Structure 1
Amino acid sequence: MTALLELRDAQFSYGRRTVIDGVTFGVSAGQALGLVGESGAGKSTIFSLLLGLAAPRSGGVLFDGAPLDRRDRRLMRRFRAEVQTVFQDPYSSLDPRQRIDLIVGEPLRSLAISRGAEARQAVAEAVGAVGLDEDVLGRYPHEFSGGQRQRIAIARAIVSKPRVLLADEPVSALDVTTRIQVIELLSRLRAETGMALVMVSHDLSAVAALCERTVVLQGGRVVEEGTTRNILDAPTTAYTRTLVSAIPRLPREV
């Protein structure tokens, strides 16, 4: 299956320090891929590369089979519409000064996707898709719990009907019950829309509950890659075995 979003032999450095060294992986439409590793493994840098916020020193990022060129405005506009993001902290990722309708509709405005009644309908549908009522649209972020805020952030991410969703530690700031609810929500949305999902996490249990495939990163390199089930059952490196042994429990394994 052709990869929809791909890193190919990517390298990246901060000054003389190489933080990503020859990383290659891809995710196809409808697939969920987890990127796991401890702090310093290179997850955040890879996330920036996948978002087009930084360019690799060598190698490349491919979207829909074509190299991602940040100088190509038309390509990047399409990329921004079709690759969306959910961040870690539901408290800092929403502008406290804006109503929820403006927050969720922001991608439609900034990318000139739709306006007026069409945009309002898309916002209402996105909020409904994450299990919230339309009456939330006139309210502000401080009126909601962490789990509700993360649902709002997910609504903002899916309002443009992206083909790829990049999730950066999307459940690490939530309590256990809410974590399971958000994981189930992401799983359902992926099944219903066919979008690809890339989840970056230090928590292998969260990845195991959502992703069919996993890439294990250590020191900016891929040390193991395969189905999540195989990595959990038979990790091939000492580093991965350490990550697996730290899992307290798995809410639901893929």
Structure 2
Amino acid sequence: MTALLELHDARFAYGRRTVIDDVTLGVSAGQALGLVGESGAGKSTIFSLLLGLAAPHAGAVLFDGAPLDRRDRRMMRRFRTEVQTVFQDPYSSLDPRQRIDRIVGEPLRSLGIARGAEAQQSVAEAVRSVGLDADALHRYPHEFSGGQRQRIAIARAIVSKPRVLLADEPVSALDVTTRIQVIELLAHLRAETGMALVMVSHDLSAVAALCERTVVLQGGRVVEEGATRDILDAPTTAYTRTLVSAIPRLPRLPREA
């Protein structure tokens, strides 16, 4: 299956320190991919490259089969519309001075997708799709719990109907019950919209619940990749076995066809 968003032989360095080296990975339409590894494994750098916030020093970022050119305004506008993100901290990722309708509608305005009544309808639909009532639109972030704020952040990410959602530790800042609810919401949105998901996480249980495939990173390199269930049931490297052994109980996914 052709990848919708991918890194190909990517290398990135800060000065003389190589952060990722020879990394190839990708996610296809409708697929969910988990990126796991300890701190310093290169997850955040890969996330930035996949978001187009930085360019690899070698290799390429490919979107829909074409190299991503950050100088091409038309390409980047399409990319920003079709690739959206949810960040880790729902408390810092929402502007406290803006009402929820303005926050969720920001991608529509900044990308020139919709305005006026059309934008209002899209915003209302996005908020409803994450399980919040219409009265949320006229309130401010401080009036919501952490889980509700993350739902608002997800609504902002999906309002442009992206083909790919990049999620950076989307449940790590939440309590256990709320974490389960947000994972279930992301799974539901994937099933409903068919969007691809790339999730960066150190939480293997969250990856197991959401992602069919997993890439394990260590020291900026891919050390293992494949179907999530296979990796969790029979890890092939000592590093992955250590990560898996830290999780006392993991949900199971059906094997890939």
2:256, 2:119 → 1: CA distance? Answer: 37
Q: Alpha-carbon deviation of 1:250?
A: 10
Larger CA deviation: 215-224 vs 239-248? 239-248
Cα distance in 1 for partners of 2:201, 2:58 equals 25
Distance (whole Å) between structure 2 residues aligned to residue 202 and residue 186 of structure 1 = 17
| Offset at residue 249 of structure 1 (A) | 11
Instruction: Report the aligned-residue RMSD.
Output: 2.0
Between the aligned partners of 1:231 and 1:83, the Cα distance in structure 2 is: 27
Q: CA deviation at 1:252?
A: 14
CA apart distance, 1:251: 15
Q: Deviations over 1:72-106 (max 9, x none)?
A: 00000000000000000000000000000000000
- Which sections of structure 1, spanning at least 5 residues, go unmatched? none
Deviation digits for residues 100-134 of structure 1 (CA, Å, limit 9, x no counterpart):
00000000000000000000000000001000111
* Change in CA separation of 1:211 and 1:250 when aligned onto 2, cut-off 3 Å: closer
- Scaled by the length of structure 1, what TM-score is found? 0.97
How far the C-alpha of 1:205 sits from its partner, in A, is: 1.0
Gap change, CA 1:88 and 1:252, over 3 Å in 2: farther
Deviation at 1:253, TM superposition (A): 13
1:203 Cα offset (Å): 1.1
In structure 2, the gaps of 5 or more residues are none
Kept in 1, the 8 Å contact 2:5–2:63? The answer is yes
Q: Is the 8 A contact 1:83 1:163 kept in 2?
A: yes
Structure 2-normalised TM-score? Answer: 0.96
Q: How much identity, in percent, do the aligned residues show?
A: 90
Q: Secondary structure of the residue that 2:9 maps to in structure 1?
A: strand
- Matches of 2:67 and 2:192 in 1, distance apart? 28
Q: Give the whole-Å Cα distance in 1 for the aligned partners of 2:67 and 2:255.
A: 36
**Distance change >3 Å, CA 83–CA 143, structure 1 → 2:** same
Instruction: For residue 210 of structure 2, give the secondary structure of its aligned residue in structure 1.
Output: coil
Detail structure 1 runs of 4+ shifted over 2 Å in the superposition: 248-254
Distance 1:200 1:126 in 2: 23
Equivalent of residue 250 in structure 1, options 244, 250, 253: 253
Q: Which secondary structure state, in structure 1, belongs to the residue aligned with residue 70 of structure 2?
A: coil
Deviations, residues 33-84 of structure 1 (Å, cap 9, x unaligned): 0000000000000000000000000000000000000000000000000000
Pairs aligned (count): 254
What is the DSSP-based 3-state SS (H/G/I as helix, E as strand, rest coil) of the residue aligned with 1:147? helix
Q: Secondary structure at the match of 1:19?
A: strand
Q: What's the secondary structure of 1:80's corresponding residue?
A: helix
CA contact (8 A) 1:167 1:200 kept: yes
Deviations 1:128-170 (A, max 9, x none): 1000111000000000000000000000000000000000000
